[in-house]
Amino acid sequence: MAANSSTTGPARPSLGHRIGRFRLFWERVTEGIQISDLWAQFQTEARSSYGLYAREVDWEEIQKKKRWRRPFHAAWALFFAMLMKLSPARRILLLVAAVLLLYPLPALFVLSLESNEIAAAAEVKFFALGTALLFLLLALELADRVTMKRDLEIAREIQRWLVPEKAPELPGLDLAFLSRPANTVAGDYYDVIPRWPARGGSATGTPLLLVVADVAGKSVPAALLMATFQASLRAIEAGGPGLAEIVRNLNYYVCENSQNGLRFITAFLAEFDPGRGEINYTCAGHHPALIRRANGQVEALGAGGLPLGIEKDTDFPIAKTQLAPGELMFIYTDGLVEAEDAAGREFGRARLSEVVAPCDGTDSAAQVLSHIARVLDGFVGAARQHDDITCMVVRRQPV
């Protein structure tokens, strides 16, 4: 009787099925990002990582070496800089892995072997062991990164509580915010604080305290000082003082916690009466806010003094201006104008003014902010964001 060969085992997946599974795997790994964008992202991250290690290298000393020896000294200096970023135990792990990969078998041991096959097998084992140690080191570093990322995510959620989630809805006024941290947590701060009834106001509007501030530095240290700055501002403002007194008290506080001027804060603070359109403001070492006038001209509000935290007894002059119906004020941090494209060119204040100028009174604050963000994204492309970006648009609606 003939054997039935049609039931020899389970059917193998078809080629189309395997290709489909690979596509799903690829989509999950790349998150749908195009190859060109992945390559640009890799280049940006590689340049950033190289800059991190290159800062630790004494390039002047390397230039003193003979020309043919410079690449070897540079490679060793970069490797050593990377090595010293690890904990002592992981440094040993990396060194052992490097030895196993670069020198799979000690020379004396190779010479003592009579069989080339044994030598080749030993080399493979050493190489495999070195690769396994590198993966172990990668796993340890990833575990630390995941733990830190989880903690930073919690810190970011707490930080979000300190700034307005959405703009307050006030008659005759249109507000919009944008915040893009360079890292998980930011050193930028923005706020809109209604001052009623402490400071009074016109019959048609509640006076507001508008604040955009930028702590020197980035990431966790800047975020911690930002949180204390927010608490101090709220405590000082609750007493109902005028803008000049608020800035003086803030400066005194920041000076007490600035580590001899290392942790200063730039800030633009304005007291705005939306009913009358009156603005009292000061610019503490911050980039000037811009006002887009009804005739299309862009005016910079740069009156002020030093950054907060430099000198305790410094003065912060209070200037005045008017915001007519249909006009808008744009406040921002330096991360916007100092954003760079892949060639290292800055976005710049002149370009920002050119972008703000066409935004007429028919555009809402959110539309103005979206327009600026689109132009910025088109300019920087895939280049890495190096600083926090925060923007606020204040638009007085036409009557």
Residues spanned by the domain of 345: 166-396
Residue 280 within a domain: yes
Indicate whether 318 and 342 sit together in one domain.
Answer: yes
Domain count along the chain: 2
Residue 190 has pLDDT above 70, yes or no: yes
Residue 352 falls inside a structural domain: yes
- Residue 113 φ then ψ, to 5°: -85, 140
**pLDDT value at position 103?**
67
pLDDT recorded at residue 256: 83
Boundary-marking domain end, from 157, 177, 202: 157
Segment 303-320 mean pLDDT: 89
Instruction: Tell me what pLDDT residue 108 has.
Output: 44
Which of 15-19, 64-68, 91-95, 339-343 shows the lowest per-residue confidence on average (mean pLDDT)?
A: 15-19
Q: What percent of the chain has pLDDT over 70?
A: 86
Instruction: Please indicate, yes or no, whether residues 281 and 378 belong to a single structural domain of this protein.
Output: yes
Region 237-260: what's the mean pLDDT?
86
Question: If you average pLDDT over residues 333-348, what whole number do you get?
Answer: 90
Provide mean pLDDT across the span 134-163. Answer: 79
CA 120 from centre of chain: 49
Identify the domain boundary among 135, 157, 179: 157
What's the whole-number mean pLDDT along residues 4-9?
52
Q: To the nearest whole number, what is the mean pLDDT of the chain?
A: 82
pTM confidence score = 0.70
Whether residue 105 is predicted with pLDDT greater than 70 in this model: the reply is no
At residue 176 the predicted structure's pLDDT band, cuts being 50, 70 and 90, is very high
Assess whether pLDDT exceeds 80 at residue 12.
Answer: no
Tens-digit pLDDT profile for residues 137-150? 888 888 888 777 77
Query: For helices 88-102 and 70-83, what crossing angle results, to 10°?
Result: 140
Q: Is residue 26, in this structure, part of any structural domain at all?
A: no
- 94 occurs within a structural domain: yes
pLDDT at 245 exceeding the cut of 70: yes
Section 307-321 average pLDDT:
90
| Whether residue 60 is found in the same domain as residue 171 | no
Domain match, 142 and 187 both:
no
- Token digits of residue 248: 């003086």
Residues 6+ apart with CB under 8 A from 244: 282, 316, 318
pLDDT score recorded for residue 107: 46
Question: Is 77 or 111 the better-scoring residue by pLDDT?
Answer: 77
193 and 137 within one domain: no
351-397 pLDDT, tens digit per residue, is: 999 999 988 777 889 999 999 999 999 998 878 888 889 999 999 88
**pLDDT score of 35:** 82
The answer as to whether 271 is a domain residue is: yes
Report the interhelical angle of 219-238 vs 116-161 (nearest 10°). 10
Token digits of residue 242: 């005028």
Report the C-alpha gap between 4 and 151 in whole angstroms: 62
Give the pLDDT of residue 1.
Answer: 47
325: in domain: yes
Q: Return the closest-CA partner of residue 281 out of 376, 209, 386.
A: 209
From 157, 182, 208, the end of a domain falls on 157
Residue 108: count other Cβ atoms within 10 Å of its Cβ: 7
Q: What are phi and psi of 174, to 5 degrees?
A: -130, 120
pLDDT tier at 261 (50, 70, 90 boundaries)?
A: low
Are 210 and 342 within one domain?
A: yes
Instruction: Say which CATH number the domain at 282 has.
Output: 3.60.40.10
Assigned domain for 301 exists:
yes
For 110, 111, 222, 311, 349, the CA distances from 114, given in Å and listed in that order, are 9, 8, 63, 77, 73
* Within-domain flag for 370: yes
pLDDT score, position 198:
45
250 and 355 inside one domain: yes
Residue 118 vs residue 67, higher pLDDT:
67
Shared domain check, 86 and 210: no
